[in-house]
Structure 1
Amino acid sequence: MNQAKNYTLSEIEATTLEMVIDGESVPAASGETFTRSSPAHDIEVSTLPRGDREDVDRAVTSARRALEAGWRTVSGAQRSALLQRVSELIVRDLEKLALAETLESGKPITQSRNEVRSTAELWAYSASLARHNYGDAHNGLGAETFALVVHEPIGVIGMITPWNFPLLIVSQKLPFALAAGNTAVIKPSESTSSTTVMLAELVREAGFPPGVVNVVTGNRRVGQAIVDHPGIDMLSFTGSTAVGRSLAASAGQSLKKVELELGGKNPQIISADCDWPAAVDAAVFGGYFNVGQCCNSGSRLIVHRSIADEFAAAVAERAAHVPLGDPLDSATQIGAIVSEEQFGVIQRYVSEGVAAGARLVTGGAPARSDAGRFYQPTVFADVTPDMSIAREEIFGPVLSVLPFDELSDAIRIANSTSFGLSAGIWSNDINEALIAARDLRAGTVWVNRWMDGYPEIPFGGYGESGIGRELGRQALAEFSELKTIQLQVGPRDTRWVSAPDAERKGAR
């Protein structure tokens, strides 16, 4: 199919999907459903089951059965072949997946297509890792002792994923967990469930055993049921810091392992000697990609005072020319806001910025449209670090320009929030760039680039941006338990020669 295809509303048909449990497409036990309307067009685009605790219990039982029936001991080569097949099926269904993502999320179709391509790469990379999941051998423990350290699957992984990149984010978790030998029960966001269900259907088509991957759709009751379920061995969550904190507290009651990828208030330090066109472009891309609804949004522009006003004006001018509108049009680069609730959050923060004394350079209001929810790309100047627009995650198309005088000031401002997901610096001074990369408290630091990602590179944050890492070789460790096996070599030196037999048996 032509990847530059534009769609019209007359071509759009609402889809009806079911949950995937134990390798079968099934309705909710209650028979209830919910619908999703396009945030860009105000038309119904999907209907899915509204699951509940009974459905989660069925899914966990299925996942546990698949794990114990042999999935945990399937060879790396077999897992690799299955994961690679899913990657191929994702590429085959690229247009179908991209369209579903755009209709439910409101993001431009070109961005959805790129997301699907990146998703296929994640599954292909995980396929390579499945064949290299090895531990260590220790032979330096003395003549009589030999030890092995092996990686074992944790068990049944509960995954709760957000609405902004539903297909990509579940694929930053699921294939890595499968490569390590785990099974999964997934709860996608109620706003954007379709592509996760479609992915589970591709997993089934690829030949994975029934029950290895299960998807239960529904509202927060499903998520809480996964958190509370005694059959879930680990929780992997991507979403807001507030929800992540609550989830971790609940998981702590049963000491479940948790992996959390949470919010960010990500700074880009712009030095006076920066590559101006590249820095302006990155500021616009980092602030308005997916309408700013991105945990990696580069929403804080910490700019050298000598160029701060000029830079803010340049970003505003560039933003005014980024195509905003119907996400079904391949020319569109800024689409719709996902929900009325999120639309209200953006408006509240803009009002707070104005009230606090920040200077509105451009935007600051809804964009005119016949349907849907759109917001103008917004730039604030003269922002101070104490303002809410400089400290709190907005998740919308709002950039704040904060001036600095010395690099130490820029780093202090950058590190002044509770988040630490990502950060960047734009400078032609390599010494300055390396100092910033060392001192910025963030899981990822970009130098003269922004928001590039690769399956091979681990991703995660400091502080309130999360716990643990996704992607890279480290992801296998994240979804694994370490087991130490000690072996006796030759006759054992008896240490309790005078103790009775019964006492020796009780000794540790």
Structure 2
Amino acid sequence: MTVVRPSVSHSGYAQTIDGAAVFSEASYPVINPATGVPFADCPSASKEELDRAVAAASRAFPAWRDADVQVRRAALHRFADAVDAEQDGLSAVLTMEQGKPLNRARDEISRAAEQMRRLSLIDMPTETLQDSAGRPFDVQYRPMGVVGAITPWNMPIILAMSKISHALYTGNTLVLKPSPYTPLATLRLGQLGIGIFPPGVLNVLAGPDELGRWMTEHATISKITFTGSVRTGKKVMASAAETLKRVTLELGGNDAAIVLKDVDPVAIAPRLFAGAFVNSGQVCMAIKRLYVEAPVFEPLCAELARLAKEVTVGDGFDPEVTMGPVQNAMQYRIVHEVLDEVLRDPQAQVLGGTQQIPAQGYFVAPRVIAQPAQTSRVVTEETFGPLLPVLKFDDVDEVIEKANSTRYGLSGSVWTGDLARATDLAQRMDVGTAWVNHHVGSDPCVPFGGTKESGIGRENSLLGLRHYMEPHVVSVRPL
């Protein structure tokens, strides 16, 4: 069928600095991954514009810090309402620049707004503790100042809204940089904040990776929050160390899901498939390795292969499409490099991928890969695309060791009707989050983050909010 794309502006995108729209002299093209060709121009911030944004955020900080928490909460709720009201326009831009099906883009917008509302309802109390002599003292948590936030291209709006929520609700001000691959919908967020937040509280700039480096090096930015790859996260941390910036890093994962033999393969296959192939496999917490106990290995592989063949891959504006493209040319090449290695593996069986896909754009049909080599890239690395390795096991202790034998430690899951056994196995997984009988998902009330090279710090919940604040001890004794 002919795909009808809504009208999306080719130009006119502005950055937000000090409560005003700023049109930069420099720009760069943004590519639609469904076509592989540019569709819009994005402003590219200069170092001088970054300095202006940071200065504005610094000026706005004292008043925003001292504002009553109810005032900050009300502003965030008004902002969430404004985002909801612009759902149609935002989702169209998001699908055009990211590639996900339009209904998935709409869902991302609405979930982002709702999570902002819920996070900003969490109470942030002062703690009263006792010293070794039993004397009370208070631990207050105070905002840090100017926060620099850098977001990725896979879930641009929900991750931008999360960082806005954490930073502004805790009394910080913010300079936000989206991925250069998916900047446009996030720039719209900045414009929606004008008139809701005081000037300088929310600043949104776009640009290439160099802009991110300027932010991590900037002496006036007190904290960097970054979501993205392990490789880039290490660079962020090294750069931030020069000024001892506080950092929150939510990095990649190579999540293992362990399926025990008592499950019904037909019943759980759709949930496992969704956990692996959501957003074309481009989710940090998606299932990247599936370990299946031998008695149910064959039937589960067959069911997953059937589901893979039923996926409709194509342009996200086609209402019949259920899986969009890989987001950018670089990631497209990585996925194909990994797939080419799998196709050369004599012991691996590639299932799915039989449907026709558009010749233009960064499309990859979903594949289920049965019994690849344990040392192959599809098993040991985070492919970040629609490839799912499925490996057979007989010994539970051995599979826990394999699940943990990775530099990643973001999340994982165990699938079985025996909840006591599942809980024991989940507790043995070396990850930040271990699920039982579900996989993928975040809740504003539940802390999320990784161990090992999957990150530092947590987001969501009171614990996550306090990663955006400094503890301040007040100890009072009578004369």
Report the TM-score when normalising by structure 2: 0.95
Q: What is the match of residue 18 of structure 1?
A: 14
Cα deviation 1:202-228 (Å, max 9, x = unaligned): 2224x2110011111010110000010
SS for the counterpart of 2:344 is helix
- The 5-angstrom pairing of residues 288-307 of structure 1 reads 288-307=277-296
**Residues 43-70 of structure 1, C-alpha deviation per residue, up to 9 Å, x if partnerless?**
54332211132221111111101003x1
Unaligned ranges ≥5, structure 2:
none
In 2, Cα distance between the equivalents of 1:52 and 1:358?
Answer: 52
Q: Any idea what the Cα deviations from partners look like across 1:100-133, whole Å, max 9, x if unmatched? A: 110000111111111111101121013313xx22
Corresponding residue of 2:400: 411
Counterpart Cα distance in 2 of 1:176 and 1:71: 14
Q: Tell me, yes or no, if structure 1 residue 166 matches structure 2 residue 156.
A: yes
Are the aligned partners of 2:151 and 2:159 in contact in 1 as well (CA < 8 Å)?
yes
Matched residue type, 2:142: E
Give a deviation string over 1:277-311, Cα, whole Å, max 9, x none.
34211221122111111111202110112222322
One of 127, 139, 145 as aligned partner of 1:136: 127
Contact kept in structure 2, 1:275 and 1:426, CA below 8 Å: no
Deviates more, 1:225-234 or 1:326-335: 326-335
- Contact kept? 1:32, 1:49, Cα under 8 Å: yes
For 1:305 and 1:334, how far apart are their aligned partners in 2?
Answer: 30
Select the residue among 430, 443, 449 that pairs with 1:454.
443
Paired residue for 1:500?
none
Instruction: State the distance in 1 between where 2:474 and 2:225 align.
Output: 28
The structure that has the greater radius of gyration is 1
Tell me whether 166-175 or 359-368 shows the greater mean CA deviation. 359-368
Instruction: Tell me, yes or no, if the aligned pair for 2:286 and 2:439 is still in contact at 8 Å.
Output: no
In structure 2, the partner of 1:499 is none
- Residue 35 of structure 1: aligned partner: 29
Q: Is the 8 A contact 1:301 1:402 kept in 2?
A: yes
2:102 is aligned, of 106, 109, 119, to 109
Give CA deviations for 1:376-414 in whole Å, capped at 9, x if unaligned: 101111123322210101010000011111221221111
1:56 maps to 2:47: no
3-state DSSP of counterpart to 1:16: coil
| In structure 1, distance between residues paired with 2:131 and 2:180 | 53
Deviation at 1:322, TM superposition (A): 1.8
CA offsets, 1:449-495, max 9 Å, x none? 12132221111111111001111121211100000012122x2xxxx
| Equivalent of 1:347 in 336, 354, 373 | 336
Q: CA RMSD, aligned part only?
A: 1.9
- Unpaired runs of 5+ residues, structure 1, are 1-5, 492-508
Instruction: Give the corresponding residue for 2:204.
Output: 215
Q: CA deviation at 1:81?
A: 0.7
Give secondary structure in 1 for the equivalent of 2:310: coil
Q: Is structure 2 residue 476 aligned with structure 1 residue 487?
A: yes
Structure 1 residues 384 and 412, CA gap change in structure 2 (3 angstroms): farther
User: Hey, what does 2:180 align to over in structure 1?
Assistant: 190
Look up the match of 1:127. Answer: 120
Secondary structure at the residue paired with 1:222? helix
- Counterpart for residue 501 of structure 1: none
* Distance across 1 between alignment mates of 2:97 and 2:459: 25
Q: Secondary structure at the match of 2:323?
A: coil
How far has the Cα of 1:374 moved from its partner? Answer: 0.7
How far apart, CA to CA, are the structure 1 residues paired with 2:408 and 2:131?
42
Q: Are the counterparts in 1 of residues 8 and 93 from structure 2 also a CA contact under 8 Å?
A: no
The CA distance in 2 between the partners of 1:402 and 1:193, in whole Å, is 38
Counterpart CA distance in 2 for 1:139 and 1:443 is 30
For residues 478 and 208 of structure 1, the distance between their equivalents in structure 2, rounded to whole angstroms, comes to 22
Query: Aligned equivalents of 2:187 and 2:156: distance in 1?
Result: 10
Query: Aligned to 2:143, which of 146, 153, 156?
Result: 153
Query: 2:165 — aligned with what?
Result: 175
The percent identity for this pair of structures is 32
Matches of 1:430 and 1:300, distance apart in 2? 21
2:91 corresponds to: 98
Contact 1:83 1:126 in 2 (8 A): no
Aligned length, in residue pairs:
478
Question: How big is each residue's C-alpha offset from its partner over 1:174-220, in whole Å with a ceiling of 9 and x where there is no partner?
Answer: 11111110011111101111121111122224x21100111110101
Code of the aligned partner of 1:137: T
Summarize the Cα distance change of 1:456–1:49 in structure 2 as closer, same or farther, 3 Å threshold: same
CA distance in 2: counterparts of 1:254 and 1:295, whole angstroms:
28
Amino acid at match of 2:161: S
Matched, 1:74 2:67: yes
Determine the structure 1 residue equivalent to 2:271. 282
Partner of 1:8: 4
- Structure 1 runs, 4 residues or longer, greater than 6 Å off: none
Cα shift readout 1:399-438 (whole Å, capped 9, x = no counterpart):
0011111221221111111111110111011222011111
Structure 2 residue 261 is the aligned partner of structure 1 residue 272: yes
Distance 1:203 1:229 in 2: 24
1:137 shift after superposition: 2.4
**Contact kept in structure 2, 1:265 and 1:393, CA below 8 Å:** yes
Structure 1 length as normaliser, TM-score?
A: 0.90
